[in-house]
Amino acid sequence: MVFSSVFSPTLNLAMSSSHSCYVSSNKYCYSYRRRRTQNTRRRTVRVRGSSSSSSSSNEKDKEDSDSDSFNPFGFVTDNPSSRSAIQLPESPAEDGNVGQMLYRIEDKGKEFGSYVKSGKLRWFMRETGSSDSRRGTIVFLHGAPTQSFSYRVVMSQLADAGFHCFAPDWIGFGFSDKPQPGYGFDYTEKEFHDALENLLEVLGVKSPFFLVVQGFLVGSYGLTWALKNSSKISKIAILNSPLTLSSVIPGLFQQLRIPLFGEFTCQNAIIAERFIEAGSPYVLKNEKADVYRLPYLASSGPGFALLEAARKANFKGTLREIVEGFASERWDKPILLAWGLSDKYLPQSVAEEFKKGNQTNIKLQPIEGAGHMPQEDWPEKVVDALRMFF
């Protein structure tokens, strides 16, 4: 089957954009304005249009029929929030619409944010409240493959309640730096720990502070960092994160570890929003999906950073460290499990099993109606739980 038939009747924009990004990591895709300065013209692709030649109509119908029976990119139209981004319009712009999309959304999703330099790394940091906040400091850490944008509402409301809040995008994620492996950062657990340690020093975060952690991979690294720095932590709130050896690792991270297939997977521009929606009972609104999509759409860097982090991770070893480290005989500080009950990755049984290891210090607070990212699905309920706990 020719290449064009594979993409009928829909086209994965991530694939078309990755052709120019895949071969050179950490280089931005051409923006629309830059494209228009080029003298050469590229072919435009019509996604839903029928064949322009009547002589090829029978062949086209056969291709469409084949695609209906097996379309490896069928997920494009299964995700309502992604339709406007992934399907080209009937009359695409002269050079396609990737640049137009970037131009439209490039300033979105940076609420309460600014850039902070820590050593050679530049972090994107969200901050609410002030150092004079009477109720203490909270540091929020997100999981993969998302970003600190998910905490924006929770941070805003907790600042109103008297807390000083920080939420960084991990290195390699969101709007923070995404260095190539071997050039200052190799995406190992130790390097994430060291980078976080240096960032907290630059921010002047005073110990002990409150820590909130959510999600897979780098979210788990937030917990293992806490185990190594328990004296700096006052209390920990854990939102849906893998906590036991029975926690299932989602297919995304397994796919990323497959040679060649992982390189293909990591360049999917809608990787983050698809992951969020797959773990939630809700569909992201377009304005939210735009923000989660933007880093992966704008550059190949986030995809390759995620790929490297997933391949360097020891998922079972990290989970074993978390289980043993937070057991009653080793951890004596309060832990809140604010758990979205509709999580399709991590059921409530994971939280209940984890709680059995330290009944005295762990409290389970179910968040009804929320999925894998309760801070995104139902931030008001998360705020209520955190205010009571902190």
Mean pLDDT within 240-268: 96
Q: What is the pLDDT of residue 102?
A: 61
Q: Is pLDDT of 87 > 70? A: no
Q: Is pLDDT of 84 > 70? A: no
Long-range contacts of 201-206 (CB under 8 A, 24+ apart): 201/118, 202/116, 202/117, 202/118, 203/116, 203/125, 203/166, 204/131, 205/137, 205/139, 205/166, 206/137
- Give residue 81's pLDDT band: very low, low, confident or very high (50, 70, 90): low
- Burial status of residue 363 (CB atoms within 10 A of its CB: 0-12, 13-18, 19 or more): middle
Mean pLDDT within 78-92: 46
- Could you tell me the sign of the dihedral formed by the alpha carbons of 264, 272, 243, 206, in that order? positive
What is the percent of the chain with per-residue pLDDT over 70, rounded to a whole number? 73
Mean pLDDT within 173-182: 93
- Give residue 99's pLDDT band: very low, low, confident or very high (50, 70, 90): low
Tokens 């735009």, residue located: 290
Mean pLDDT within 330-334: 96
Mean pLDDT within 83-108: 53
Look up residue 89 and give its DSSP letter: P
Q: Kindly list the domain boundaries of the chain, sorted by start residue.
A: 113-389
Q: For 249-282, b where at least 16 C-beta lie within 10 A, e where not — what string? A: bbebbeebbeeeebbbbbbbbbbbbbbbbbbbeb
Mean pLDDT within 71-91: 45
pLDDT in tens, 337-389: 999 999 999 999 999 999 999 999 999 999 999 999 999 999 999 999 999 99
Q: What is the pLDDT of residue 178?
A: 95
Tokens 């758990």, residue located: 339
Q: Is pLDDT of 75 > 50? A: no
- Are 250 and 344 a contacting pair, CB within 8 Å? no
Q: What is the pLDDT of residue 230?
A: 96
Q: What is the pLDDT of residue 117?
A: 97
What is d(CA 307, CA 301) in angstroms, rounded to the nearest whole number?
10
**Choice among 83-92, 123-132, 141-150, 322-331 with the minimum mean pLDDT:** 83-92
Which residues, in sequence order, are CB contacts of 362 under 8 Å at separation 6+? 326, 335, 336, 337, 354, 355
Mean pLDDT within 155-183: 95
What is d(CA 210, CA 137) in angstroms, rounded to the nearest whole number?
6
Q: What is the pLDDT of residue 183?
A: 84
Q: What is the pLDDT of residue 44?
A: 38
pLDDT in tens, 21-49: 333 344 333 333 444 444 433 333 333 34
Is the pTM of the predicted complex or chain greater than 0.75?
A: yes
What is d(CA 372, CA 340) in angstroms, rounded to the nearest whole number?
6
pLDDT in tens, 274-310: 999 999 999 999 899 999 999 998 889 999 999 999 9
What is d(CA 46, CA 261) in angstroms, rounded to the nearest whole number?
27
Phi and psi at 349, nearest 5°, equal: -60, -30
What tokens were used for 204? 């002047």
Q: What is the pLDDT of residue 298?
A: 87
Q: What is the pLDDT of residue 103?
A: 56
- Are 73 and 4 a contacting pair, CB within 8 Å? no
- Give residue 93's pLDDT band: very low, low, confident or very high (50, 70, 90): very low
Count of Cβ atoms closer than 10 Å to residue 53 Cβ: 9
Which residues, in sequence order, are CB contacts of 137 under 8 Å at separation 6+? 131, 163, 164, 165, 166, 205, 206, 209, 210
The DSSP H or E segment spanning 114 is strand 113-118
Mean pLDDT within 79-99: 47
CATH number of 113-389: 3.40.50.1820
Mean pLDDT score across all residues of the chain: 82
What tokens were used for 326? 């937070």
- Give residue 202's pLDDT band: very low, low, confident or very high (50, 70, 90): very high
Identify which has the larger pLDDT, 21 or 258: 258
Measured between alpha carbons, how far is residue 309 from residues 173, 188, 209, 218 in Å?
Answer: 11, 6, 27, 8
Which residues, in sequence order, are CB contacts of 375 under 8 Å at separation 6+? 150, 151, 153, 154, 214, 239, 382
